[in-house]
Amino acid sequence: MSLIVVGSVAYDGVETPHGKIDRMLGGACTYISLAAAYFTEVKIVGVVGEDFAQEDIDFLASRKIDLTGLDRVAGRTFFWAGRYSPDMNDRETLQTDLNVFADFDPKLPESYRAEPYLFLGNIQPDLQRSVRNQMKNVQLTGGDTMNYWINDFRPALLETLKQWDFLLINDSEARLLSGQHNLRRAASKIMEMGPHTLVIKRGEYGAILFRRGEHFMVPGYLLEDVFDPTGAGDCFAGGFIGHLAGRGVSPSDGDIDFAELRRAVIYGSVLGSFCCEKFGVDRFRTLTREEIEARYQEFKNHTSF
């Protein structure tokens, strides 16, 4: 019972008030998979160029992430560079070289197609739909999107969302997609588009889970130092879907236990918070399941009354 994760595998250059890294492993698919792999078996679908380092392959493989669907083709790996504002609430993109990612047309290996869990990272909505349609027996489908697809590929995105059980987006994306500023109203509109479950991520302010007239809120973990927020939203997604897949959650008549979804949101928050503690994926080189459980308990201590 594995989780299929589709999205970018990349190299990133990042500058934060804590330092500057010219080139490090990144990409949504990478972060989602590393986070989810603490909870479940993960199989990824992505594309990299000839420059993709063996040590990065080895790192992913060391987490038992199935790389059968990671194509290596002629050319260079997707590269993104950005610089964060002093308070790290904003970032400026300095460079985007799509490289081999420009022609990404995900084809699932036969060994992936019968798996029950699918997370579609932030890629062109028609490609997300194509992947969904290659799956034979999927029980839980969800994913991410972004402003660019919401603005310029709206009809394709709306068609894609019809097939999703859940959507994870940030607050500005939720407002853009729904045309509503108020998040409760935005959530109602979005859930009419298809997903029965919606998670709105609010960066340092936490997240809100919406489902059938109910909602659940978690504040952001209060870090002493945010080293690098790159990938935190993807790690949230990985913790969320990873927990659901690891628990074998399946929507019977379209329903998922709300308590299990709440816990998934907490695990998402936990993984997102760890991600910020070091540059890039570095925190995941040492992070243990015990540390994850300890922080889950911290969330309980910090929010219960």
Residues of this chain that interact with a copy of itself (CB under 8 A) are 86-87, 181-185, 202, 205-206, 208, 215-219, 222-226, 259, 262-263, 265-266, 300, 302-305
Taking the complex as a whole, the smallest distance from the CB of residue 12 to a copy of itself amounts, in Å, to: 24
Query: CA of 254: how far to CAs of 137, 257, 264, in Å?
Result: 15, 10, 17
> Least distance from C-beta 77 to a copy of itself, angstroms?
34
User: Which one-letter amino acid corresponds to residue 230?
Assistant: T
Give me the least distance between CB of 224 and a copy of itself, in Å please.
5
Instruction: For residues 267 and 247, give the distance between their C-alpha atoms in angstroms, rounded to a whole number.
Output: 12
Cβ–Cβ under 8 Å, residues 120 and 128: yes
**Beta carbon of residue 302, minimum distance to a copy of itself (angstroms, whole number):** 5
Rounded least distance, CB 242 to a copy of itself, Å: 17
Nearer to a copy of itself, 194 or 203 (CB): 203
Task: Indicate the residue among 75 and 203 with the shorter CB distance to a copy of itself.
Answer: 203
Q: Which is nearer to a copy of itself, 114 or 223 (CB)?
A: 223
CB of 247 to a copy of itself, least distance (A): 14
Measured from the CB of residue 236, what is the shortest distance to a copy of itself in angstroms? 15
**Closer Cβ to a copy of itself, 101 or 236, answer by number:** 236
* Complete DSSP assignment for the chain: --EEEES--EEEEEEETTEEEEEEEE-HHHHHHHHHTTTS-EEEEEEE-TT--HHHHHHHHHTT-EEEEEEE-SS---EEEEEE-TTSS-EEEEEEE-GGGGG------GGGTT-SEEEE-SS-HHHHHHHHHH-SS-SEEEE---HHHHHHSHHHHHHHHTT-SEEEEEHHHHHHHHT-SSHHHHHHHHHTTS-SEEEEE-GGG-EEEEETTEEEEEPPP--S-----TTHHHHHHHHHHHHHHHTT---BTTB--HHHHHHHHHHHHHHHHHHTTSSTTGGGGT--HHHHHHHHHHHHHHH--
* C-beta separation of 203 from 220 below 8 A: yes
Name the residue nearer to a copy of itself (CB basis): 107 or 184: 184
- Rounded least distance, CB 205 to a copy of itself, Å: 4
Question: Of 206 and 238, which CB lies nearer to a copy of itself in the complex structure?
Answer: 206
Nearer to a copy of itself, 112 or 221 (CB): 221
Q: Among residues 123 and 265, whose Cβ is nearest to a copy of itself?
A: 265
